[in-house]
Amino acid sequence: MEVAAKAFQYIWENQERFLTAVQVHLTISVTALLVSLLVCIPLGIVCAKSQKIAATVMNSINTFRVIPSLAILVIILPILGTGFVPALVALILLACPPILINTYLGFRGIDPAVIEAASGMGMDERQILRKVEFPLAMPLVIAGGRTAAVEVIASATLAAFIGGGGLGTFIVNGLGMYNFPMLLVGAVPVAILAILSEVCFAGIERWVTRYQRD
Amino acid sequence: MANHSIVFDKVTKRFPKADKPSVNEVSLQIEEGSFVTILGASGCGKTTLLKMVNRIYEPTSGRIFVEGEDVATVPVTQLRRKIGYVIQQVGLFPHMTIEENIATVPRILGWDNKQIDERIDELLELVHLPPKDFRKRYPRQLSGGQQQRVGLARAMAGNPAIMLMDEPFGAIDAITRASLQDELIQIQRRLHKTILFVTHDIEEALKLGDKIVIMNNGEIQQYDTPFHIITQPANAFVSRLVHSEDVLKRLSVMKAESVMTEIEGTVHPNEIRVSKEENCKTILMHILKSEHDSVIVEDGNQTPVGRVTLAHLKIHEALSQSLSAS
Ligand SMILES: Nc1ncnc2c1ncn2[C@@H]1O[C@H](COP(=O)(O)OP(=O)(O)OP(=O)(O)O)[C@@H](O)[C@H]1O
Ligand SMILES: [Mg+2]
């Protein structure tokens, strides 16, 4: 209890610092997620339509995936230096695989008969994409986003190691100074953010799969 | 060519890497408003032939005309919007309600909402699915047969003059299938659509078709009325396919009209009455059950126009048998 009280006290006394950290954490996570979505959804669709591209992209993704997030941060360091941007790049790299793979699977999984019916009725490619393929692939795409979001929020903590700022700063400092309350100041809000993102995505997922329920 | 809805002119389709063409030099003229069934064993090219009409496949050589226009010169989407297409796997959009499914083509065509709304009700009534119950449901909440009906309604939504149907009743039990067939026949009578209907079920082909295309190895073996196919098969293949020794099957493709004679003598008040379109198999059943050896044939206005007797049926049956034997 004492630890929690001390943590609150720390936040009370360093309100501005705490809020900035939360803000940086959110900014870096949301930006990384948005960029990954914008890049990987179109790329995933292209892969789903072309087996050749798919083979290359999926293979490299799967190789890349085995590298742990901390290692990615460390590898980025000598290339891009320290600060917000290198941390952002690392997080984008982390968020891409689940989104890309799920988008690919989502579009590949559509019953070809449905597509044939759509084009047989005279829908052009854009109409098919917008009205048929997107809505049908959406549940999997969202699931990919959900995985990516949690991974990004958690890994953004590590960004502090390369000077990216955010809530991880408290954790790094707390660990360094054997200051347990300060460690909590970083860790608990990160956990809460991760849970919030889960809840948010679960809601979206329910909404895009409403046709699958009675 | 004015009253030919679809014309195939020496159409050949050879898929890349295939050693022989799937459809070989097919020439065929489909009259406007006729119901034509395409019959043949699996892999003989029925689907391929059908899919060239709405350009899902492009012919390797030859030309296809729809309503007088070479399909190769019409933009694909425009062509397809005026041809109803029912695929074997139904292919309803699982994320759309039944009404949204049916509204697809009318929306593309830019109809206004009120018009679309009325059209949905009209079509659901036509395929015997009460709109109140079914409009808001999703496809997975429907049985297979109900889904097929929606598929049919969806294909007819834009009011196309031509319908292409690829084994639309393939995966359905015999009873539901028979009733869907009856519905389709009635729809066709009422709306005079030109229908190309693929099936590998002989009974279905005979029952539905005004004319039947019999295919084998990508080539047409015979294109004729059910009656002629049964009584005068063009070659050994056709004759084997329809194995003409079945009396009831032969009777089932003869219409009352083609067998009846003038009414001589008085019409008994309890002599059973049938329509001109009735098939002779049903007539035989009526006669077997009734106290008379004959039935009275009526036209559309319930005016008696002829009579079919048991003796007539015997003569026609014997005749067609000897024709098919020769
Ligand atoms: N896309 C394709 N690529 C290569 N060959 C094909 C393709 N589609 C069909 N074929 C071949 O063309 C031939 C005719 O096929 P088609 O689908 O027209 O047969 P079908 O008469 O419809 O048979 P079924 O009753 O089984 O549906 C078959 O030998 C088939 O293997
Ligand atoms: Mg087929």
* pLDDT tops 50 at residue B1: no
Q: Residue B274: what are its φ and ψ, rounded to 5°? A: -130, 160
The response to whether residue B325 sits with its C-beta less than 6 Å from ligand 1 reads no
Out of 3.40.50.720, 3.30.70.141, 3.40.50.300, 3.60.130.10, which CATH number does the structure's domain B4-244 have? 3.40.50.300
The response to whether residue B48 sits with its C-beta less than 6 Å from ligand 1 reads yes
* pLDDT tops 60 at residue B325: no
Listed as own residue / partner, the contacts of B106-109 with beta carbons closer than 8 Å and 24 or more positions apart are B106/B157, B106/B158, B108/A121, B108/A122, B108/A123, B108/A127, B108/B81, B108/B158, B109/B81, B109/B158
The response to whether residue B312 sits with its C-beta less than 6 Å from ligand 1 reads no
What's the whole-number mean pLDDT along residues B192-220? 91
B188-197, B214-223, B294-303: range with lowest mean pLDDT: B294-303
The predicted-structure confidence for A107-140, as pLDDT tens digits, reads as follows 999 999 999 999 999 999 999 999 999 999 999 9
If you take atom 9 of ligand 1, which residue's CA is the nearest one?
Answer: B48
If you take atom 19 of ligand 1, which residue's CA is the nearest one?
Answer: B43
Q: What is the pLDDT of residue B320?
A: 63
C-beta separation of A28 from A156 below 8 A: yes
Closest chain B residue to the Cα of A132, Cα to Cα: B93
Instruction: List b or e across A180-196, with b for residues whose CB sees 16 or more CB atoms inside 10 angstroms.
Output: ebbbbbbbebbeebbee
What's the whole-number mean pLDDT along residues B181-192? 87
A80-84, B90-94, B136-140: range with lowest mean pLDDT: A80-84
Out of 3.90.1280.20, 3.40.190.10, 3.40.720.10, 3.50.50.60, which CATH number does the structure's domain B249-325 have? 3.90.1280.20
Look at B54 and A118 and tell me if their CB atoms are within 8 Å.
no
How many Å lie between the alpha carbon of B312 and the closest alpha carbon of chain A?
47
Which domains, from first to last, does chain A contain? 2-213 (1.10.3720.10)
What's the whole-number mean pLDDT along residues B172-193? 84
**What is the residue extent of each domain of chain B?**
4-244, 249-325
Which of A116, A121, A124, A213 best probes binding to B when mutated, by most B CB atoms within 10 angstroms?
A121
DSSP summary character for residue B267: P
How far does the centroid of ligand 2 lie from the alpha carbon of residue B86, in Å? 12
How far does the centroid of ligand 1 lie from the alpha carbon of residue B235, in Å? 24
* pLDDT tops 60 at residue B324: no
What residues pair up with B308 in beta bridges, in sequence order?
B295
DSSP calls for chain A = -HHHHHHHHHHHHTHHHHHHHHHHHHHHHHHHHHHHHHHHHHHHHHHHH-HHHHHHHHHHHHHHHTS-HHHHHHHHHHHH-SSHHHHHHHHHHHHHHHHHHHHHHHHHTS-HHHHHHHHHTT--HHHIIIIIIHHHHHHHHHHHHHHHHHHHHHHGGGGGGGT--STHHHHHHHHHTT-HHHHHHHHHHHHHHHHHHHHHHHHHHHHHTGGG--
The predicted-structure confidence for A43-66, as pLDDT tens digits, reads as follows 999 999 988 888 888 888 888 777
The predicted-structure confidence for B34-47, as pLDDT tens digits, reads as follows 999 999 988 999 99
* pLDDT tops 60 at residue B21: yes
* pLDDT tops 90 at residue A105: yes
Which of B56, B90, B104 best probes binding to A when mutated, by most A CB atoms within 10 angstroms?
B104
Element (H, E) at B83: strand B83-86
How many Å lie between the alpha carbon of B172 and the closest alpha carbon of chain A?
18
Q: For residue A77, what pLDDT band results from cuts at 50, 70 and 90?
A: confident
Mean pLDDT for all residues in chain A: 89
What's the whole-number mean pLDDT along residues A176-187? 89
Cross-chain CB nearest to B91 (options A116, A124, A214) = A116
Q: Distance of CA A145 to CAs A30, A92, A209, B248, Å?
A: 11, 12, 15, 63
The predicted-structure confidence for B223-245, as pLDDT tens digits, reads as follows 998 878 877 888 988 888 877 55
Mean pLDDT for all residues in chain B: 88
* pLDDT tops 90 at residue B160: yes
* pLDDT tops 60 at residue B203: yes
Other Cβ atoms within 10 Å of B122 Cβ, number: 14
The response to whether residue B45 sits with its C-beta less than 6 Å from ligand 1 reads yes
* pLDDT tops 70 at residue B2: no
The response to whether residue B84 sits with its C-beta less than 6 Å from ligand 1 reads no
Q: Residue B209: what are its φ and ψ, rounded to 5°? A: -80, 135
DSSP calls for B227-247 = HHHHHS-SSHHHHHHTTTT-H
* pLDDT tops 50 at residue B221: yes
Q: Percentage of chain B surpassing pLDDT 70?
A: 94
Which ligand 1 atom is nearest residue B215's CA?
A: 21
